A and B are shown apart, each in its own frame.
Chain A
Amino acid sequence: MTEIWQGLVAAFWLVVTLDKDLVEITLRSLQVTITAVLIACALGMPMGAWLAIQRFRYRRTVIAILNALMGLPPVVVGLIVYLFLSRAGPFGALNLLFSPTAMIIAQVIIVTPLVASISHQAVRDLWADYHDLLISLNATKRQRMATLLIDGRRALLTAALAGFGRAVGEVGAIIIVGGNIDHVTRVLTTAIALETSKGNFALALGLGFVLIGLAIAVNICIHALSRTEREGTW
């Protein structure tokens, strides 16, 4: 239990002294995660919106599969991506393994179903509301999707933040495809894993508290920048 206190102290000192390694892995964590989330949103939100408004035969099955994919174990995703990117695998020649790009790829695969699923639900609710109006105004399918995505921005922001939360704390996939190489692919979560395996629980906890603080800071920042609490806008 003393390690929790030691962890808090370690976190405090690391942050206050702007420890060089800490800054480096924190920035890399943010870079990988934010890139992955942006790509996942670009893929998942239109996907979710499209599923909400397009009627087709196997729609219910597709939605069920999409929801199930939210529970993809990250380690399994990591292994599969590794096998694809490995030199012995089909995309080995791209030389992407053990790079931040490989980590981003793995995280996009993990986060997109989550974003798509939440977006789908949000758009579906809004579509039920807007349905008659948009049809009456002869909006094309693309226009409907655009309107739903824009007007549903509050719930979509939640989807993006959920995706961010999932990605920033993820370690199983990125440690396999990234290799946790110092100064190349080491991020907060993989550093925590390494310190834990070495038995340095206090330092691991310290890094963990920094990670939690980072996630909180990002969320507050996003909410401030987008002024979600301003009356009526959302």
Chain B
Amino acid sequence: MVTDILPLIVRDAKVRMRGKTIVGPIDLDLSGTGVTVVMGPNGAGKTTLLRMLHGLARLSSGTIDWAIPVQQAQTRQGFVFQTPIVLRRSVRDNIAYPLVLHGVARKEARARADHWGTRVGLADMLMRPARVLSGGEKQKLALARALIRDPSVLFLDEPTASLDGRSMREIETILLTAAHEGTRIVMATHNMGQAKRLAQEVIFLYRGLVHERNHAAAFFAGPAKPEAAAFIKGDIVE
């Protein structure tokens, strides 16, 4: 798996809604491998930033350029939402869905879905309707579904925010494996421990702007900005 859609070059990107600038202007370069964690207080714009990079939020100004045309680049990305969206079908058909959309024969798509479903620990749920799964199980489904297309870049928006400890651990394991296998991961979280466990790099977002960006070890040892420091300490950052 080649990360052929990187580098991602973001220049002066802004997202405005109802007259307010939610995120931006952002200048960002993304390349290489590993896990980038986007951190920041609630309302900082983490979700909007991720959606903007993925193409779900419309740019009000500025540019976002992948190494290849954006249409094709989008097919090489995956996105896991904070609240998992599951289709009204079986777990297996949910996971197979992205492949079917892209013309893979149903039989083969299902076989690969079974494989990924087992990898994320849903082996005995494959034929069950996806709607009856628990929150943690649904999020694993979403992860399998996002990974089944072998994306170059995987965005995750606080994927374990409402999950129990065990599910969180299982998902983090899957993410680390994927990162190890070459998927570039960009993940928003406000769980400090999770960030420390997973991140190679941290982007600290504050009031819609990239306040700080650094290697994880350096960032946690000594953040440059006071807001970041306060955040790490656990203070309320407005």
Contact = CB atoms under 8 A, between A and B. Distances in A.
A150 B88 CA distance: 9
A138 B56 contact: no
B85 A132 contact: yes
Contacts of A151: 87-89
A136 B53 CA distance: 11
B132 interface: yes
A200 B95 CA distance: 62
Contacts of A132: 56, 79, 81, 85
A212 interface: no
A129 interface: yes
B129 A232 contact: yes
B1 interface: no
A138 B79 contact: no
A231 B131 CA distance: 10
B56 A137 contact: no
A138 B129 contact: no
Interface residues of A, number: 17
Interface in B73-101: 74-75, 77-79, 81, 85, 87-89, 97-98, 101
Nearest to B74: A138
B54 interface: yes
A130 B97 CA distance: 13
Interface in A194-234: 231-234
A136 B56 contact: yes
Interface string A132-153: 1101111100010001000110
B16 interface: no
Contact of A143 (B79, B88, B101): B101
A233 B87 CA distance: 11
B229 to A, nearest CB: 34
A138 B75 contact: yes
A105 B83 CA distance: 46
B128 A130 contact: no
A132 B83 CA distance: 11
Contacts of A152: 88
Given A136-B54, A136-B56, A233 B129 contact: yes
Contacts of A129: 85
B79 A136 contact: yes
Given A138-B74, A138-B75, A232-B131, A133 B85 contact: yes
Nearest 6 pairs between A and B by C-beta? A232-B129, A133-B85, A151-B88, A136-B79, A232-B132, A137-B98
30 contacts: A130-B85, A130-B87, A132-B56, A132-B79, A132-B81, A132-B85, A133-B81, A133-B85, A133-B87, A135-B56, A136-B54, A136-B56, A136-B77, A136-B78, A136-B79, A137-B97, A137-B101, A138-B101, A139-B101, A143-B101, A147-B87, A151-B88, A152-B88, A231-B132, A232-B128, A232-B129, A232-B131, A232-B132, A233-B129, A234-B88
